Amino acid sequence: MKVPAGFLVVSLLLSCFTATSYGVYFSSLKETLEVTASPSKDQVLKAGEDTITVTWRFNQTYSAGTDSDYKTVKVKLCYAPISQKDRSWRKTEDRLKKDKTCPHKIVARPYAASNNSFTWTVEKDIPSGVYFVRVYALNAHDEEVAYGQNTDAHKVNNLFKIQAITGRHVSLDIASVCFSAFSIVSLAGFFYMEKRKGKSSQQK
Ligand SMILES: *[C@@H]1O[C@H](CO)[C@@H](O)[C@H](O)[C@H]1NC(C)=O
Ligand SMILES: *[C@@H]1O[C@H](CO)[C@@H](O)[C@H](O)[C@H]1NC(C)=O
């Protein structure tokens, strides 16, 4: 069997890529970005309605050029420890490929050292929970090289809450399901009565 050379090159590139991106550990990243998020501490935001404005910039106490390999940023919504408890699918792992702390992407942007701001409407499918915002800087190979977050290392300060849409509309849904069930039952009852009436008048 003859394997096309192009295929070999592509798979070689792919394996190099996975090999290099395999080992990015959160603990190896420097916190060189200063990040703020608009919600005040413990504010409750409604999914599908309320907005979060995130700002980020390079922390100038790091020497100039530290950010020379930053190409893009990814802004993410992350679970605070209290919303990860007993939920292995949101577990924090030091190896970023496996980390589930920040599954919700807010935006990706080209990197700029200052004057960055983005306003995001909390998406409708975001579950209720306690959150913070983290920004990753990525290099040309799409590997995380630095980060910043709107909370401290222990994820205690400036956390905010999101209230999911389902919690708010579930009673309405139950009401409409009950109402449809009621209509079907009464319709069936109506036909049954009509049939009986028909039968009893035939019997006379
Ligand atoms: C900038 O980085 C320095 C050194 O790590 C740190 O002490 C300082 O708190 C940071 N500034 C902000 C606003 O995060
Ligand atoms: C910052 O961004 C705003 C809006 O995009 C722009 O008007 C302003 O000139 C920018 N300032 C700097 C210093 O780049």
pLDDT of residue 173: 57
Ligand in closest contact with the CA of 113: 2
Q: Which of 34, 36, 60, 61 to mutate to test the pocket of ligand 1 (most atoms within 8 A of CB)?
A: 61
User: Where do the H-state alpha helices sit in the chain?
Assistant: 5-21, 165-203
Owner of token pair 């394996």: 15
Could you identify the atom of ligand 1 that is nearest to the CA of residue 60? Answer: 1
pLDDT of residue 74: 98
* Nearest CA residue ID for atom 6, ligand 1: 61
* Nearest CA residue ID for atom 4, ligand 1: 61
Distance 37 CA to ligand 1 centre (A): 17
Domains annotated for the chain, with CATH where assigned, are: 22-163 (2.60.40.1930)
pLDDT of residue 129: 97
Judge whether 162 and 82 are in contact, CB under 8 Å: no
pLDDT of residue 16: 47
Identify the three-state secondary structure at position 161.
Answer: strand
Owner of token pair 């050029």: 65
69 lines ligand 1 (CB under 6 A): no
pLDDT of residue 184: 72
All residues at 6 or more sequence positions from 81 whose CB lies less than 8 Å from its CB, including other chains: 155
Whether pTM > 0.75 for this model: the answer is no
**pLDDT in 10s for each residue of the chain, 204 residues:** 455 665 555 555 555 455 454 689 999 999 999 999 999 988 999 999 999 999 999 999 999 999 999 999 999 999 999 999 999 999 999 999 999 999 999 999 999 999 999 999 999 999 999 999 999 999 999 999 999 999 999 999 999 999 998 755 555 555 666 667 767 777 777 677 777 776 666 655
pLDDT of residue 11: 57
